[in-house]
C-alpha cells in the first residue's frame, strides 16, 4: 500500500511546488519586469497621492469633467469587485429606460449640442469598468467641458488629441481616450475648485 501512496504523494508535492509556487513567481516576475505599470495596477497619482487606476473607470458627474462609459456594477458604479454588465437585452424595458435617462442627462448638461450622442456614452459595457471612451464620445463632450471651464474649445480638443490612443496593433478596436487621465490633464491645465 505504501508503495502505491508514496508516488502519488511525491507527484502531488512536485506539482504543488511547480504550479503553486514556481510558476506564479515566474509569471509575476516576468510580468513585473516587462510591464511594471500594469503589474502595479496602473495607478495614476497627483502630487504623489494615488487617485485611481488607468485600468478601471471612475464616476464623474460634474459638467466640468469628461464623463466615462456608464457602469452597471453594483452596489455602486465602477465596483471592481462586482464587475458585470446589466444582463439586460435591448428589448428589456428597464434597459430602454436607462438608456433614455442617460440621453436626457447628456442633453440637459449641454442643451445646445445637437450632434448625435455616441453609443458608448449611454450604454454600459460587459464589465462595467471601462476606463476609456471613444474619441467621438470625448469630442461630443468637449464643447460642454470648455464652456464650463471657460476655456477655448481648441485647448480641450488639443488635450483629447494628446491623450488619444490608437487602435491596438493597428487594427484592433478603435481610437480611444482614458477618461481619468484626460480629466487629470484637464485639471492640470485649467485648475479649479471642485
Walk along the chain (194 residues) in steps of 10 and give the mean pLDDT of each run.
87 96 94 87 88 90 94 83 81 91 95 94 89 95 95 94 87 90 91 53
C-alpha cell at 104: 436626457
Q: What are phi and psi of 188, to 5 degrees?
A: -70, -40
pLDDT of residue 193: 46
Three-class SS of residue 164?
A: strand
pLDDT of res. 194: 44
Neighbours of 3 (CB within 10 A): 6
| Three cell numbers written together for 169 | 496593433
Amino acid at each position: 500500500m505504501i508503495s502505491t501512496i508514496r508516488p502519488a504523494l511525491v507527484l502531488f508535492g512536485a506539482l504543488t511546488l511547480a504550479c503553486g509556487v514556481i510558476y506564479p513567481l515566474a509569471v509575476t516576475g516576468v510580468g513585473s519586469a516587462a510591464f511594471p505599470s500594469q503589474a502595479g495596477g496602473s495607478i495614476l497619482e497627483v502630487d504623489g497621492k494615488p487617485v485611481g487606476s488607468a485600468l478601471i473607470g471612475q464616476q464623474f458627474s460634474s459638467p466640468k469633467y469628461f464623463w466615462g462609459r456608464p457602469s452597471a456594477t453594483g452596489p455602486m458604479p465602477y465596483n471592481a469587485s462586482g464587475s458585470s454588465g446589466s444582463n439586460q437585452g435591448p428589448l428589456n424595458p428597464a434597459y430602454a429606460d436607462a438608456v433614455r435617462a442617460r440621453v436626457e442627462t447628456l442633453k440637459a448638461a449641454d442643451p445646445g449640442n445637437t450632434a448625435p450622442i455616441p453609443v458608448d456614452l449611454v450604454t454600459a459595457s460587459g464589465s462595467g469598468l471601462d476606463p476609456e471612451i471613444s474619441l467621438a464620445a470625448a469630442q461630443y463632450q468637449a464643447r460642454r467641458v470648455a464652456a464650463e471651464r471657460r476655456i477655448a474649445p481648441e485647448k480641450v480638443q488639443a488635450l483629447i488629441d494628446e491623450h488619444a490612443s490608437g487602435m491596438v496593433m493597428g487594427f484592433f478596436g478603435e481610437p480611444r481616450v482614458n477618461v481619468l487621465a484626460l480629466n487629470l490633464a484637464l485639471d492640470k491645465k485649467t485648475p479649479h475648485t471642485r
